[in-house]
Structure 1
Amino acid sequence: MRPADLMRAIVPVFPPSESHLVRDGYLRGERRPGELRCAPSEFFMLFDMNNDGLISFKEYIFFVTLLSIPESSFSVAFKMFDIDNNGEISKEEFKQVMALMRSHNRQGAFHRDGLRTGLNVKGPVENGGLVEYFFGEDGRARLQHEKFVQFMRNLYEEMLRLEFAHYDYKQRGTISAEDFALSMVASADMGHLNKLLNRVDQLKNERHLCDLRITFEEFKNFAELRRKLQPFCLALFSYGKVNGLLTRDDFQRAAYRVCGILLTDNVIDIIFQVFDSNRDGNLSLEEFVRVLHNRERDIAQPVETGILGFLNCCWNFTNNSSIGKFLC
């Protein structure tokens, strides 16, 4: 698969609004409606050891596993296998860390040996191009903790860049308000999706929103907010309990003070257009949290049990609030 195919396999997306496509692909006998653009990725090609421009299945499982693990959890596992506490690990130690990670991921656990049922894959996941990139052809190099943490940050950002490029169909460097809204609701439950899509459609009728364009920096900041959803929701829910309502200013202030993320007025306006269900100027918090949590959950693809699942639910707050049921 190509890098953009990897993104679409992991991240739920709609066809970009400017492409005039209602779906990706076509049926036999149909006129081919066109293709979704595939943005090139220099980042993923760093690990393309055979120079075919494609990501193999075992590398796909490798990336899926990495994307499912929070940076903090990887750091804990990394340090456990750093026997001499010198901030670096060997190839064999790294393979043990990855095996542990895959056991907490649905696809990784199912393909634990790196093999796919009915598919002949040469060698386990840990022998892919990424491992060679880290440890060299002879496997004797050692991996520093800081280098891998930076790699993970780059990986997350590259996935965001590919998602943004997917919606930036005309390669203008920005995406429409409609496409940004589509990216937000793509993970919604089927029972709630239609009403959210109806609100997205209404963006075209709002003069102050229909011509808005969202930059990659704005897109990236909102994605960072998703990754900090738990502390952000704790703040919003606590504030809502005391004050009863959540206005645009409240939302923007909480994002900055709690998470250190500055959301622009344009982003806030689109969020409230989609998640202000009764148009009273206040956020429908549970609906907003449900959709964003689904996005992070779907990408992580956790198994039902295990230490990561346990840690994810060890929030005293979640046992006593309606928002909590979405965070476990």
Structure 2
Amino acid sequence: MVSSPSKSEYIFFVTLLSIPESSFAVAFKMFDTDNNGEIDKEEFKTVMSLMRSQHRQGIGHRDGLRAGLNMSGSVEDGGLVEYFFGKDGSDKLKHDKFTQFLKDLTEEMLRLEFAHYDYKRRGTISAKDFALSMVAAADASHLGKLLDRVEDLSKHAHLQDVRISLKEFKQFAELRSKLGPFSLALFAYGKANGLLTMKDFKRAASQVCGVSLSDNVIEIAFHVFDSNRDGNLSVEEFLRVLHRREKDISQPIAKGLCQYFSDGWNGSKKCSSP
């Protein structure tokens, strides 16, 4: 029987989910003093403390404890750390093992999100449910009109019957994680060709981000983010909603990683945020 995670482990998971793989790789390598791709338990605890201070989801847990939660010990002393470093804490954690753990954790969270909509366990979700997952992070001031367009899907027979698979759901999530280059690509295509077509959207996702989106996913996005109902994507609205979701999950706060290290070591080097 699998036990429920402790409060410490819950906070640990929240912190891990807030960390972009690229950011952890930077910190990991800086603490890997002998450059052998491994760090020990104490080094890892320092990395996690750094990550909490740099990411919104972990900001309330800077000391390893969260206000309002009654627990003893730090976040990094739970069962997961035992898994990484062994019972006596003497094992070394390899970079590849931890980044794979992060990927697996993110994948599991996506699977659980998909299962929330696929409550009948059909292996697919409706176009409406997929659209709801798209707009879930929208600002309250814009949510009403987005939900109206989601409801409007039922008036379009070809969209009403569309089903989205877990694979398609994950592909769209991967696109969200590459929002920076994708944003630039969308604006570039739009400026070069006038109106942004579904074909342009698909090409940008594929060629710039390496993500293959299905026609159904793209058509649903165009319908939901068509602000003036002219059949075209409102690029700014689309990107604003997706950026809000990704920002809430993983945006670093205030200082970049390198600035943090510079402050800690009283160094003079300057570095931009990742």
TM-score, structure 1 length as denominator?
Answer: 0.76
Q: Answer yes or no: is 1:168 the counterpart of 2:97.
A: no
- Paired with 1:106 and 1:145, the residues of 2 have a C-alpha distance of 23
- Paired with 1:192 and 1:256, the residues of 2 have a C-alpha distance of 29
- Paired with 1:301 and 1:55, the residues of 2 have a C-alpha distance of 25
Q: Deviations over 1:65-102 (max 9, x none)?
A: 11112111111100000011101111111111001101
- Paired with 2:198 and 2:258, the residues of 1 have a C-alpha distance of 33
Counterparts in 2 of 1:1-12, with a 5 A limit? none
- Paired with 2:111 and 2:225, the residues of 1 have a C-alpha distance of 25
Q: Answer yes or no: is 1:75 the counterpart of 2:75.
A: no
After superposition, the CA RMSD in angstroms is: 1.9
Paired residue secondary structure (2:159): helix
Q: Indicate if the aligned counterparts of 2:55 and 2:252 stay in contact, CA closer than 8 A.
A: yes
- Paired with 1:215 and 1:101, the residues of 2 have a C-alpha distance of 33
Q: Deviations over 1:115-138 (max 9, x none)?
A: 233432121000011101111111
Aligned to 2:47: 97
Q: Indicate if the aligned counterparts of 2:168 and 2:217 stay in contact, CA closer than 8 A.
A: yes
- Paired with 2:162 and 2:168, the residues of 1 have a C-alpha distance of 12
Paired residue secondary structure (2:35): coil
Q: Answer yes or no: is 1:282 the counterpart of 2:238.
A: no
Q: After TM superposition, give the deviation of residue 107 of structure 1 in Å.
A: 4.5
Counterparts in 2 of 1:3-42, with a 5 A limit? none
Q: Deviations over 1:288-321 (max 9, x none)?
A: 0000001101122643x1115989xx69xxxxxx
Paired residue secondary structure (2:71): coil
Q: CA distance change for structure 1 residues 105 and 171 in 2, over 3 Å: closer, same or farther?
A: same
Aligned residues: 262
Q: Answer yes or no: is 1:155 the counterpart of 2:105.
A: yes
Structure 2 gap ranges (5+): 261-271
1:306 to 247, 255, 258: 255
Identity, in percent, stands at 69
Aligned to 1:244: 194
Q: Deviations over 1:126-160 (max 9, x none)?
A: 00111011111111111111111111111110110
Aligned to 1:259: 209
Paired residue secondary structure (1:103): helix
Aligned residue identity for 1:104? Q
- Paired with 2:194 and 2:171, the residues of 1 have a C-alpha distance of 27
Aligned residue identity for 1:94? F
Q: Answer yes or no: is 1:235 the counterpart of 2:172.
A: no
- Paired with 2:236 and 2:257, the residues of 1 have a C-alpha distance of 24
TM-score, structure 2 length as denominator?
Answer: 0.91
2:176 to 200, 207, 226: 226
Paired residue secondary structure (1:123): coil
Q: After TM superposition, give the deviation of residue 62 of structure 1 in Å.
A: 1.1
- Paired with 2:207 and 2:237, the residues of 1 have a C-alpha distance of 22
Q: Indicate if the aligned counterparts of 1:167 and 1:175 stay in contact, CA closer than 8 A.
A: yes
Structure 1 gap ranges (5+): 1-50, 316-328
Q: Indicate if the aligned counterparts of 2:127 and 2:153 stay in contact, CA closer than 8 A.
A: yes
- Paired with 1:275 and 1:105, the residues of 2 have a C-alpha distance of 29
